[in-house]
Amino acid sequence: MGFKEVFGLLPEASAQAPGRVNLLGEHTDYQEGYVLPTPVPYFTQVEAAPAQGQVEAYSENLGELRARPLQSPPQGDFLDYLLGVVWALRASGHEVPGARFYVRSRLPMGAGLSSSAALEVAALKALRALYRLPLSDQEVALLAQKAEVEYVGVRCGLMDQMVASLGEVGKALFLDTRTLAHENLPLPPRTRVAVLDLGLKRRLAEAGYNERRREAEEAARRLGVRALRDVADLCLVESLPSPLDRRARHVVSENLRVLKGVEALRRGDARAFGELMTQSHRSLSRDYEVSLPELDALVEAALAAGAYGAKLTGAGFGGAVVALVPEEGYAAFKEALEARFPQLQLL
Ligand code: GLA
């Protein structure tokens, strides 16, 4: 199948966007902190043609064609993301009368690799080309987040959409989510980023994510700061009642780890960078309590198999583990993990 077979005409624009893993800076982006994600070389591609008054889309992966008028509320399917980006563009004053989309993706869904951000950003870039919209890549990311938060109804930060729009494969995007200042930094030489997916279903992820956001907001309020980004001294968190002290300790220490990680990248120091990733995981597990026993075991197994460092990636409560592995040890790493976890998908 292709665009022509589904819609009887040729597409007039196309764009793609990658998924991501986050190397450092987990659960910091909704407290105006620092993040350091990197795109994975798996893309969602969107082809587009104009339409009037509706959004129509075919998903090659799902084998589904769906259409709804522009004013429709979200219904919990993939079309929501596409209606969402058209809605966000129109709400921001751009003239977009509707669209037809053909979507194909090599990104596994539900592994925590931000397939939704990749779809939103690819669709926005296809619409930008189709309707010649004067939008920068950063504006694309902000519109994608607006679609996800205000239309689809998922309270996410800005990390996923920024890296899907501005990231470069082989580089980490150092982003300050307060100022939006960003820089693409090369990953350490002679390393590989491995994504370890056990196919773990997320458990209560949305409820857990929103609860952590509330806890972080409450901790910031009690500490008298606009966001936990503003807490430079880790000792300050000890005055908070449990569990807010642990939640704030994670966010404050995680911001420091991103800054140290950036220095390690500038030195090309894979060992130091990996150590920070592992510290991040332990903090996510013990203090932020968003890990699962299976993810903890996978991190330990990755370290035992020779990784410089490993951590869960994304919101947690399921999803994948990311590991930084020495290039020359990759074959042995893969073999050891595949022997131990027969259901493991290594990306
Ligand atoms: C999800 C959100 C991001 C970020 C991470 C946790 O992926 O979409 O904005 O908050 O969780 O770091």
Give me the DSSP letters along 252-297. Answer: HHHHHHHHHHHHHHHHT-HHHHHHHHHHHHHHHHHTS----HHHHH
Q: Is 104 exposed, middle or buried (0-12, 13-18, 19+ CB in 10 A)?
A: middle
Residues ≥6 apart with Cβ < 8 Å to 318? 112, 200, 201, 202, 203, 205, 292, 295
Quick one: 259 exposed, middle or buried, by C-beta within 10 A (0-12, 13-18, 19+)? middle
Distance 23 CA to ligand 1 centre (A): 12
Which residue, by CA, sits nearest to atom 11 of ligand 1? 315
Is residue 148 in contact with ligand 1, taking CB distance under 6 Å?
no
State residue 204's pLDDT score: 65
Residue 26 beta carbon below 6 angstroms from any ligand 1 atom: yes
316 lines ligand 1 (CB under 6 A): no
Please tell me the distance from the alpha carbon of residue 165 to that of residue 140, in angstroms, as a whole number.
7
From the CA of 338, how far away is ligand 1's center (Å)?
Answer: 28
pLDDT tens, the chain, 347 aa long? 899 999 999 999 999 999 999 999 999 999 999 999 999 999 999 999 999 999 999 999 999 999 999 999 999 999 999 999 999 999 999 999 999 999 999 998 777 899 999 999 999 999 999 999 999 999 999 999 999 999 999 999 999 999 999 999 999 999 999 999 999 999 999 999 999 999 887 766 888 999 999 999 999 999 999 999 999 899 999 999 999 999 999 999 999 999 999 999 999 999 999 999 999 999 999 999 999 999 999 999 999 999 999 999 999 999 999 999 999 999 999 999 999 999 999 99
Distance, CA of 312 to CA of 82 (rounded, Å): 28
Close Cβ partners of 99 (under 8 Å, ≥ 6 residues apart): 48, 49, 50, 51, 55, 56, 82, 86, 127, 130
- pTM here is 0.96
Predicted confidence at residue 170, as pLDDT, reads: 96
Q: Give pLDDT tens digits for 317-347.
A: 999 999 999 999 999 999 999 999 999 999 9
Query: What interhelical angle do 115-130 and 159-166 show, nearest 10?
Result: 50
Would you say 177 and 32 are in contact if contact means Cβ atoms under 8 Å apart? yes
The structural architecture, per CATH, of the domain 3-185 is 2-Layer Sandwich (3.30)
Instruction: Write down the pLDDT at residue 210.
Output: 95
Nearest atom of ligand 1 to the alpha carbon of 27: 12
- Cis, peptide link before residue 108, omega less than 30° from 0: no
Question: Which tokens is 187 given?
Answer: 């990953």
Q: For the purposes of burial, counting CB atoms within 10 Å of the CB of 282, is it exposed (0-12), middle (13-18) or buried (19 or more)?
A: middle
> In terms of DSSP H, where are the helices of the chain?
3-7, 79-91, 115-130, 137-146, 159-166, 205-223, 244-267, 270-286, 293-304, 330-340
Query: In the structure encoding, which two tokens stand for residue 216, read together?
Result: 């972080």
Q: Which atom of ligand 1 is found nearest the CA of 315?
A: 11
Helix (H, G, I), strand (E, B) or coil at 116: helix
Ranges for all domains in the chain classified under CATH 3.30.70.890: 188-346
CATH placement of domain 188-346: 3.30.70.890
Whether the CB-CB separation of 127 and 57 falls below 8 Å is answered with no
For residue 225, give the 3-state DSSP assignment.
coil
Establish whether residue 27 lines the binding site of ligand 1, counting it when its CB lies within 6 angstroms of any ligand atom. yes
CATH 3.30.230.10 domain residues, the chain: 3-185
